[in-house]
Homo-oligomer: A and B are copies of this chain.
Amino acid sequence: MLETDQITQDEVRQIVREEIQRAFKKDPAKKKLSMVASKGTLDWAYPPLILATAGAAANMEAAIFFTFYGLNIIHKDFDKKLLVAPTGNPAMPMPVPMPDVITGMPGMKTFATGMMKSMFKKKGVATIKELLDVAVELEVRLIACQMTMDVFGFEESDFIDGVEFGGAAAFLSDARKSHVTLFI
State the A residues within 8 Å of B (CB). Answer: 1, 3, 5-9, 11-13, 15-17, 19-20, 23-24, 27-31, 33-36, 38-41, 43, 46-47, 50-51, 54-55, 57-58, 60, 67-69, 72, 81-85, 87-93, 99-101, 103-109, 119-120, 123, 125, 147, 150-152, 167-169, 171-173, 175-184
Contacts and interface: CB of A to CB of B under 8 A. Distances in A.
A109 B88 CA distance: 9
B101 A172 contact: no
Contacts of A101: 101, 104-106
Q: Which are the 9 A-B pairs with shortest beta-carbon distances?
A: A40-B91, A88-B88, A100-B104, A69-B91, A182-B183, A54-B168, A99-B106, A83-B90, A101-B104
Contacts of A100: 85, 87-88, 100, 103-105, 108-109
A152 to B, nearest CB: 6
Contact of A85 (B12, B83, B90): B90
Q: Which of A27, A67, A88 is packed against the most chain B CB atoms within 10 Å?
A: A88
A22 B24 CA distance: 13
B89 A88 contact: yes
Nearest to A90: B83
Contact of A177 (B30, B36, B125): B30
Q: Which of A1, A3, A27 is packed against the most chain B CB atoms within 10 Å?
A: A27
Contacts of A30: 176-177
A69 B86 CA distance: 12
A175 B168 contact: no
